[in-house]
Chain A
Amino acid sequence: MLRLIRARLAMLVIVLFGVSIITFLMAHVLPGDPTAALAGPHPSQETLNSIRTQFGLDKPLPVQYIKYLSNLFHGNLGTSIRSQQPITQEILAFFPATLELVTVAFLLAIGIGIPLGVIAAVKKNTFSDYVIRLFAVGGVSIPLFWGGLVMILIFYAKLGWLPASGRLDIELSSPETITGFYFIDALFGGDKETFINVLKHLVMPSLALGYVQLAFIVRQVRSSMLDALSQDYYLTGRANGLSHRFLVVRYALRNALIPSITIIGLSFGSLLGGAVVTETVFDWPGMGKYVTDSILGRDFPAIMGFTVVIALAYVIINLLVDLLVYSLDPQTRK
Chain B
Amino acid sequence: MKAIRQLIRNPFTRGAFFSLCVIAFVGIFSPLLTPYSPIDAKPEDRLLPPGHLHYFGTDELGRDIFSRIIAGTRVSVGIALFAILLSALVGTFIGSFSGFIGRWIDQVIMRSTDVLLAFPTLVLALALSAALGPSIVNAALAIAIVKLPIYTRLARTQALSVSHTLFVKAAKTFGVSSPWIVRRHIVPNLLTPIIVQISLDIGDAILLIATLGFLGLGAQPPTPEWGAMISTGWNYLLDQWWYPTFTGAAIFIAVIVFNIIGDGIRDLLDPKAGE
Query: Which A residues contact B (CB, under 8 angstroms)?
Result: 11, 14-16, 18-19, 21-23, 26-27, 30-32, 124, 130, 133, 137-138, 140-146, 149-150, 152-153, 157, 223, 226, 268-270, 272-274, 276-277, 280, 291-292, 295-296, 300, 303-304, 306-307, 310-311, 314-315
Contacts and interface: CB of A to CB of B under 8 A. Distances in A.
A106 to B, nearest CB: 14
Contacts of A16: 118
Interface in B170-203: 203
A146 B251 contact: yes
Q: Which of A23, A143, A223, A291 has the most B CB atoms < 10 Å from its CB?
A: A143
A296 B126 CA distance: 12
Interface stretch (B60-68, B98-106, B214-222): B214-222
Given A30-B128, A273-B123, 10 more contacts: A14-B111, A140-B203, A141-B252, A146-B251, A272-B120, A276-B215, A295-B215, A295-B216, A314-B119, A315-B118
Contact of A307 (B123, B216, B227, B244): B123
Contacts of A296: 216
7 contacts: A137-B263, A142-B252, A143-B227, A145-B211, A149-B237, A273-B126, A295-B215
B172 to A, nearest CB: 31
A291 B210 CA distance: 17
B123 A272 contact: yes
Interface string B1-41: 00000000000100000000000000000000000000000
Interface string B214-252: 111100000000010010001001100100110011011
Contacts of B248: 143, 145-146, 149-150
B67 to A, nearest CB: 20
Contacts of A307: 119, 123-124, 126-127
Q: Which of A19, A145, A152 has the most B CB atoms < 10 Å from its CB?
A: A145
Given A152-B237, A291-B126, A137 B256 contact: yes
B115 interface: yes
B94 interface: no
B127 A314 contact: no
B207 to A, nearest CB: 6
B132 A273 contact: no
B176 to A, nearest CB: 35
B114 interface: yes
Given A15-B115, A144-B211, A150-B245, A300 B130 contact: yes
A226 B267 CA distance: 14
Contact of B131 (A32, A152, A291, A310): A32
A273 B122 contact: yes
A13 to B, nearest CB: 12
A149 B227 CA distance: 13
B132 A146 contact: no
Contacts of B161: none
Interface in B65-117: 111-112, 114-116
Contact of B120 (A152, A270, A280, A300): A270
Interface string B125-142: 011101111000000000
A140 B259 contact: yes
Contacts of A277: 122, 211, 214-215
A23 B204 CA distance: 24
A32 B20 CA distance: 37
Given A15-B115, A149-B244, A274 B131 contact: no
